[in-house]
């Protein structure tokens, strides 16, 4: 019996890829990769529905390293899809050997995503991953060169498909045929394709040469500003975000809170706190809370993991700083209005 390891995002294409193989009697196991940018949530659901074992593999370290300078560049936003796929296939190749599978399969559809799922991109991914000939795309296989498992007769090429392009109609019909009614929408799932998050991430990489996964978690939350010194300032918007920010704070981050008034939690990640950045962060903290209407506010700042607490006095919080709204691919900027 042939055995396949299917890259499972949990989206419809990957579910169908697994199903097409199962239908011809191939044993299927699935793998889902996790990073701060995508989770295995949908894959877990899909694997349960398909009744297939799921390997959940954290590739954060390699992914974040690659993301800094992807060899094949980014897509429209901060999504390095070709390098990301190559990394996933390479890791899948290792797991394939470990579990004794014969090949890897993916839900890729030729031409569905013009930049990352064209013939050339699919070939690059295979070459870069070192898995040439072992990557089967069941949904478009008949349009592609036969893979090794097809040539070896482990897979019946005739029972594979020839879906091409961006219309998702053939996939919908196939889903209907298999009685698959629940699957996530094709967009979403990976925040590297989110325009707002991409701007935040680009700025994080500017500030921090080696961002940590926790730095990435921080910029998923709240309002993010660029200080006049070029540092990031993150301000929560509600109680829930206060908790999330605290949970993502690392030793060395500066945490600010207004004394005596309810208000947000503000974080300056790592040790990027020049004097101006601290003042601007303090003024933002006061301005986004009840202290905005007060004549003055005291804002406490603490370097997380230390006892280093200081108090910053902000006169007239409503007027202390100016916020230049976010524009194009720039973050909102904050500058001091009052003279030092």
Which of 2/6 has CB closer to ligand SF4?
Answer: 6
Which of 110/294 has CB closer to ligand SF4?
Answer: 110
Ordered strands of the 3-7 beta sheet = 54-58, 27-34, 3-7, 103-105, 135-136
The minimum distance between CB 338 and ligand SF4, in angstroms, equals 43
Does residue number 85 form part of the binding site for ligand SF4 (CB under 6 A)?
yes
Say if CB 182 and CB 12 are below 8 A apart: no
| Binding flags for ligand SF4, 273-312, as an x/- string (CB under 6 A) | ----------------------------------------
CA 90 – CA 7 distance, rounded (Å): 11
Q: Which of residues 164-203 bind ligand SF4 (CB under 6 A)?
A: 190, 192-193
Question: In terms of Cα–Cα distance, which of 303, 331, 54, 56 is closest to 197?
Answer: 331
Tell me the sheet residues that pair with 223: 235
E strand intervals along the chain? 3-7, 27-34, 54-58, 103-105, 135-136, 223-226, 232-235, 254-258, 266-268, 296-303, 309-315, 321-324, 332-336
Which of 139/255 has CB closer to ligand SF4?
Answer: 139
Q: Which stretch binds ligand SF4 (CB under 6 A): 75-83, 102-110, 132-140, 234-242?
A: 75-83
The minimum distance between CB 108 and ligand SF4, in angstroms, equals 10
Q: In angstroms, how far is the first alpha carbon of the chain from the final one?
A: 75
The minimum distance between CB 47 and ligand SF4, in angstroms, equals 17
Question: In terms of Cα–Cα distance, which of 290, 302, 292, 299 is closest to 261?
Answer: 290
Does residue number 148 form part of the binding site for ligand SF4 (CB under 6 A)?
no
The minimum distance between CB 113 and ligand SF4, in angstroms, equals 8
Which of 17/154 has CB closer to ligand SF4?
Answer: 17
Binds ligand SF4 by CB under 6 A, chosen from 81, 135, 231, 278? 81
Torsion angle of C-alpha atoms 306, 307, 311, 312, degrees rounded to 10 = -20
Question: In terms of Cα–Cα distance, which of 128, 86, 102 is closest to 28?
Answer: 102
The minimum distance between CB 330 and ligand SF4, in angstroms, equals 23
Question: In terms of Cα–Cα distance, which of 96, 95, 75 is closest to 84?
Answer: 75
Q: Which stretch binds ligand SF4 (CB under 6 A): 80-88, 98-106, 222-230, 267-275?
A: 80-88
Which of 72/272 has CB closer to ligand SF4?
Answer: 72
Binds ligand SF4 by CB under 6 A, chosen from 11, 80, 211, 317? 80
Does residue number 137 form part of the binding site for ligand SF4 (CB under 6 A)?
no
Does residue number 84 form part of the binding site for ligand SF4 (CB under 6 A)?
yes
The minimum distance between CB 35 and ligand SF4, in angstroms, equals 8
CA 261 – CA 93 distance, rounded (Å): 55
Q: Which of residues 34-73 bind ligand SF4 (CB under 6 A)?
A: 38
CA 256 – CA 268 distance, rounded (Å): 8
Tokens of 245: 């920010």
CA 285 – CA 236 distance, rounded (Å): 9
Does residue number 117 form part of the binding site for ligand SF4 (CB under 6 A)?
no
Which of 85/142 has CB closer to ligand SF4?
Answer: 85
Does residue number 236 form part of the binding site for ligand SF4 (CB under 6 A)?
no
Tokens of 88: 């996933």
The minimum distance between CB 84 and ligand SF4, in angstroms, equals 3
Which of 211/264 has CB closer to ligand SF4?
Answer: 211
Give the interface size with ligand SF4 as a residue count (CB under 6 A): 9
**For the purposes of burial, counting CB atoms within 10 Å of the CB of 148, is it exposed (0-12), middle (13-18) or buried (19 or more)?**
middle
Interface residues with ligand SF4 (CB under 6 A) are: 38, 79-81, 84-85, 190, 192-193
């Amino acid at each position: 019996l042939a055995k396949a390891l299917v890259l499972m995002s949990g989206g419809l294409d990957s579910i169908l890829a697994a199903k097409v193989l199962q239908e011809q009697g191939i044993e299927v196991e699935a793998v889902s990769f996790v990073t701060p940018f995508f989770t295995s949530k949908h894959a877990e659901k899909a694997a349960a529905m398909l009744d297939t074992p799921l390997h959940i593999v954290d590739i954060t370290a390699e992914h974040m390293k690659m993301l800094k300078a992807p060899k094949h560049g980014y897509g429209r936003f901060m999504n390095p899809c070709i390098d990301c796929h190559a990394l996933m296939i390479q890791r899948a190749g290792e797991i394939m050997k470990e579990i004794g599978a014969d090949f890897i399969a993916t839900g890729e559809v030729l031409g569905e995503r013009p930049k990352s799922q064209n013939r050339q991109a699919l070939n690059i991914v295979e070459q870069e991953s070192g898995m040439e000939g072992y990557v089967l795309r069941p949904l478009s296989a008949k349009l592609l060169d036969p893979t090794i498992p097809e040539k070896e007769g482990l897979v019946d090429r005739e029972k594979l498909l020839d879906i091409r392009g961006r219309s998702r109609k053939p996939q919908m019909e196939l889903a209907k045929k298999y009685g698959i009614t629940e699957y996530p929408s094709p967009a979403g799932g990976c925040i590297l394709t989110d325009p707002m998050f991409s701007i935040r991430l680009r700025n994080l990489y500017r500030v921090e040469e080696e961002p940590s996964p926790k730095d990435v978690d921080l910029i998923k939350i709240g309002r993010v500003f660029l200080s006049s010194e070029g540092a990031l300032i993150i301000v929560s918007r509600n109680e829930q975000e206060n908790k999330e920010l605290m949970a993502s704070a690392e030793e060395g981050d500066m945490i600010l809170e207004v004394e005596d008034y309810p208000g947000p939690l503000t974080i300056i990640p790592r040790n990027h706190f020049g004097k101006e950045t601290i003042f601007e962060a303090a003024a933002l903290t006061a301005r986004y809370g009840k202290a905005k209407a007060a004549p003055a506010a005291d804002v406490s700042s603490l370097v997380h993991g230390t006892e280093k607490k200081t108090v910053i006095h902000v006169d007239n919080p409503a007027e202390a700083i100016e916020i230049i709204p976010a524009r194009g691919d720039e973050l909102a900027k904050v500058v001091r209005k009052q003279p030092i």
